[in-house]
Structure 1
Amino acid sequence: MNGIISDLNQIITGEVSTIAEDLVAVSQDFGGIIQKQPQVVIRPQNSFDVAKAVKYAAEHELTISSRAAGHSLSGQSLNQDGILLDMRNLNQIHEFCPEQLWFKADAGTTWKQIVDTSLPHGVIPPVLTNYFDVTIGGTHCAGGLGQNSFRYGSQADNCLGLEVVTTTGDVLWCTPEENSELFHHALCGYGQFGIITKIQHRLRKYRPFTRTYFLCYDDINTFLNDQRRLILENRVDGLLAMFSPCILGVSRLGETGIKPLIEWFYRMQVTLEVDSLDDINEQELLSDLNFYRHIHTEDFNFSKFIQPAIQVPHLPGTANPWIDVLLPGSIAKEFIQTALERIPSFIDFRATPIGSFSLMARNTKVPMFALPDEELILGFGMYPTVPKSQVQPVLKQLNQLTELALQMGGKRYIASWTEFDLPKWRLQYGDYWLKINELKRKYDPQCILNPGFFQYENEPFAYSQQGAVTALTNTLQPVV
């Protein structure tokens, strides 16, 4: 260890630390479920520090991972016994070009920095998540979804260029035309093929005012039909759905048990972005929708509207086993009804945000972002916070819902809680899994980059979708 520290201090201009407090500080992520502790933390000052650290790791057969805000949920930003790159010092906006509608910034720059810089110029990134203190590098590695992703895709879909450090220590600029293979797979690649150090990203002009209608549904069919209509007819600029339980009583089970009688309501928030609120034709927008009740209308200027409405604290002693499932529109109802029926048995459903978002396959083209094989994709997410002592039973149930989704042709947004074995990785990526293994051998033959999350094939294999479904089904307990 002393030799490693001495070597790194000679080649790194940033800070190299083995202080116990520094190691512990990067040993857990926002999920609070997985713990890993590196031997060394490096706080690079520039891309060349990252390149030197990666090359050193390759030469000495050490694993190496990158981390900034640490907002991963399954240990994707952690490292065990290797080198952890703390990217938070790489946080400068290098070029900001509102007229050309793009910016270039370090991977450790937060989206809050980007938003604060953009708003005075009348521009904004096309897609924003509901939490701005994550970094642009982190969300480009994962995807990054927002309430208008049905129109603009993921944040990764709006990337124009990447600076990527490879395991050979090269610093490459990658675009759809230059080093395109690495560009397309570093995006949503979770650091498996290279470490992203800079990003060029698209901007768009925004309109100054927004109006949001809060519509409540008491029937899932009506809710899903209206959601499809608004998206496919391109009638709104933002759409978010939340599911709310109403306890109507309890039913006695046997001698001592009771079961809550729950009615679920589906709240859809649809947003218009306009030059003037007088431009809105409310009758035209709402007249053919079949909501149970129009419960609220909210008018904001755009800069107020995009600010996250709710902050989620990371409470001591708790875990966040959040899960997002991507469903073919044709089977979304079946899955959602099954999930809502099961949820009260294993989490505090009254305190857990549960909701839905939407994607269009034609707007989401990153190959590492696996999608179901339909044009309209409905996301289903649940975001519980539970005491760590109670997390394992919750994970068991979430894993069963994941397995059900995969059986039904869905995919997982693997930025959320993900616990995959090889059969599930094969099913997640389908035929493309062969290509991913090929690229891993090409760009990271020693498997030093961000290990412990993805599982790869030791030998080539023949893939078939039906065979993968059958193999997965044969290993599962029934989901009832």
Structure 2
Amino acid sequence: MNTIVSDLKHLIDGDVSNIKEELEAVSQDFGGIIQKQPLIVVRPQNSTDVAKAIQYAVEQDLTISSRAAGHSLSGQSLNQGGILLDMRNLNQIYDFCPDELCFTSDVGVTWKQIVDTSIPHGVIPPVLTNNFEVTLGGTLSAGGLGLSSFRYGSQADNCLGLEVVTGTGDIVWCTPEKNSELFYHVLCGYGQFGIMTKVQNKLRKYRPFTRSYFLCYDDLDSLLNDERFLISEGLVDGLVSLFSPCLLGLSRAGENRIKPIVQWFYRMQITLEVDSENDIDADKLLSNLNFYRHIYTEDLTFDKFIQPIAQVSHPVDKANSWIDVLLPASKVKEYIDIALQRIPSFIDFRTIPVGSFCLLSRNNKMPMFPLPDEDLIVGFGMYPTVPKAQVKPVLEQLNLLTNLGFQMGGKRYMATWVEFELPQWRLQFGDYWSKVNEIKRKYDPHGILNPGFFKYEQVVKTNMNCAYIKSH
């Protein structure tokens, strides 16, 4: 151990530590379900540090993983017994070009830094998630979805270029035109093919005012039809729905068994981005919708609207067992009906956020972000935070909901809780799965990058440059 620490301290400019408290601080992620402890934490100062750390890991047969805010849910930002790169010191914005609608920065920059820099110039990243404290590298590795993703795709779809360090320690600049294979697989690739160090990303101009309508539905079909109409006609700039249960009583479901009687209501929030509030024809917009009740209207300046409503808490004794299932629109009603019937049987449904969002396949171009084979995609999400002692039965049910989604032609958003074995990885990527394995062998031939999340096919070692990639 002392030799490894000494070697790395001589190799790189950044900090190297094996202090127990610092290792424990990076042994758990936001999910709170998976725990892994690295041998060493390295805090690189630049991409050369990352390259040297990777080259050293290859020489010493150590695994190496990257982490910043640690907001993963399935251990994607953790490492067991190897090197963990804490990327938070890579936090500089280099070129901010509002007139050219782009910027370049380190991957450890947070979206809050970008928003604070952008807003005074009248520009903003096209897609923002509901947590600004996470980093560019983290969400671009996962995809990154927000209220406007049906219009602009994921955050990864708005990336223009990447500096990447591959699994052999090569530093490569890649774009959709140059080194495109690496570009399109590192994005949404969870650090499997290379570690991002710099990012060039799009900006867009924003309008100064927003109006949001909060509409209540008592019928799921009506909600889904209105979502389809609003998105296909391009009538709104933001859309999300939240499902709310109403407990109407209890029924006897068998001997010594009580079943809750639940009526679900659905609140759709639609947002318009405008130059002036006088630009909105509310009657024209709302008259085409079939909601049960218009419950609220909110007018905000754009800079106020985009701010997250609340900080996401992270109690140390709780697990965030969240899932998002991406469904073809033709199957989503059937899936949601089944899911809402099941939820009260395994969790306190009254306190669990449940909802939906929409995507259009034509606006999502990342091969590592698989989508169902329809243009309109509806995401169904549920986000339980439960005591760790109770998480196992909840995860079992969430895995059943995942398999139900696969049966209906759905996919999973892998930034949320994922516990796949090989058959599920094959379903997730379909015919592209063999390509994923091929790219892994090409850019991480020693199989050292971010191990333990993806479970690849076994590959027979035929020479020193072909790794044996484990399937467990």
Specify the code of the residue in structure 2 equivalent to 1:190.
Y
State the 1:346 CA deviation: 1.1
Specify the code of the residue in structure 2 equivalent to 1:7.
D
Specify the code of the residue in structure 2 equivalent to 1:95.
D
- Which residue in the other structure is 2:278 paired with? 278
Deviations 1:70-92 (A, max 9, x none): 00000000000000000011111
- Which residue in the other structure is 2:470 paired with? none
- Which residue in the other structure is 1:394 paired with? 394
1: CA distance between counterparts of 2:107 and 2:190? Answer: 13
2: CA distance between counterparts of 1:167 and 1:279? Answer: 52
2: CA distance between counterparts of 1:278 and 1:385? Answer: 42
Whether contact under 8 Å (2:128, 2:145) holds in the other structure is yes
- Which residue in the other structure is 2:269 paired with? 269
1: CA distance between counterparts of 2:42 and 2:420? Answer: 29
State the 1:371 CA deviation: 0.4
2: CA distance between counterparts of 1:349 and 1:115? Answer: 35
Larger mean Cα displacement after TM superposition, 341-350 or 121-130: 341-350
Whether contact under 8 Å (2:249, 2:262) holds in the other structure is yes
Structure 1 SS opposite 2:316 = coil
1: CA distance between counterparts of 2:237 and 2:403? Answer: 33
2: CA distance between counterparts of 1:125 and 1:29? Answer: 26
- Which residues of 2 match residues 438-449 of structure 1 at below 5 A? 438-449=438-449
Whether contact under 8 Å (2:168, 2:445) holds in the other structure is no
- Which residue in the other structure is 2:422 paired with? 422
- Which residue in the other structure is 2:468 paired with? none
2: CA distance between counterparts of 1:238 and 1:112? Answer: 20
1: CA distance between counterparts of 2:159 and 2:370? Answer: 17
Equivalenced residues, count: 460
Deviations 1:387-408 (A, max 9, x none): 0000000000000000010111
State the 1:445 CA deviation: 1.3
- Which residue in the other structure is 1:223 paired with? 223
- Which residue in the other structure is 1:245 paired with? 245
Larger mean Cα displacement after TM superposition, 347-356 or 194-203: 347-356
Deviations 1:243-298 (A, max 9, x none): 00011111123343221110000100000000000110001101011000000000
- Which residues of 2 match residues 313-462 of structure 1 at below 5 A? 313-459=313-459
2: CA distance between counterparts of 1:235 and 1:407? Answer: 32
Is 1:234 the counterpart of 2:234 in the alignment?
Answer: yes
- Which residue in the other structure is 2:98 paired with? 98
Structure 1 SS opposite 2:99 = coil
Instruction: Give the TM-score of the pair, scaled to structure 2.
Output: 0.97
- Which residue in the other structure is 1:288 paired with? 288
- Which residues of 2 match residues 74-113 of structure 1 at below 5 A? 74-113=74-113
Is 1:134 the counterpart of 2:134 in the alignment?
Answer: yes
Larger mean Cα displacement after TM superposition, 338-347 or 61-70: 338-347
Deviations 1:23-81 (A, max 9, x none): 00000000000000000000111111111101111111110000000000000000000
State the 1:316 CA deviation: 2.2
Deviations 1:89-115 (A, max 9, x none): 111111100000001111111000000
Task: State, as a whole percentage, how many aligned pairs show the same letter.
Answer: 72
State the 1:3 CA deviation: 1.2
- Which residues of 2 match residues 196-207 of structure 1 at below 5 A? 196-207=196-207
Deviations 1:308-344 (A, max 9, x none): 1132211121000000000000000000111111011
Specify the code of the residue in structure 2 equivalent to 1:43.
R
Specify the code of the residue in structure 1 equivalent to 2:48.
F
Deviations 1:112-161 (A, max 9, x none): 00001000000000000011101000000000000110000000000000
Specify the code of the residue in structure 1 equivalent to 2:45.
Q
Specify the code of the residue in structure 1 equivalent to 2:59.
E
- Which residue in the other structure is 2:157 paired with? 157
- Which residue in the other structure is 1:466 paired with? none
Is 1:191 the counterpart of 2:191 in the alignment?
Answer: yes
2: CA distance between counterparts of 1:372 and 1:438? Answer: 22
Is 1:299 the counterpart of 2:299 in the alignment?
Answer: yes
- Which residue in the other structure is 2:16 paired with? 16
Specify the code of the residue in structure 2 equivalent to 1:397.
Q
Structure 2 SS opposite 1:330 = coil
Structure 1 SS opposite 2:331 = helix
Specify the code of the residue in structure 1 equivalent to 2:188.
C
Structure 1 residues 62, 459: CA separation in 2 closer, same or farther (over 3 Å shift)?
Answer: closer
State the 1:459 CA deviation: 4.3
Specify the code of the residue in structure 1 equivalent to 2:353.
P
1: CA distance between counterparts of 2:253 and 2:453? Answer: 42
Structure 1 SS opposite 2:65 = strand
The gaps in structure 2 that reach 5 residues or longer are 461-472
Structure 2 SS opposite 1:84 = strand
- Which residue in the other structure is 2:49 paired with? 49
- Which residue in the other structure is 1:478 paired with? none
Q: What's the C-alpha RMSD, in Å, of the aligned pairs?
A: 0.8
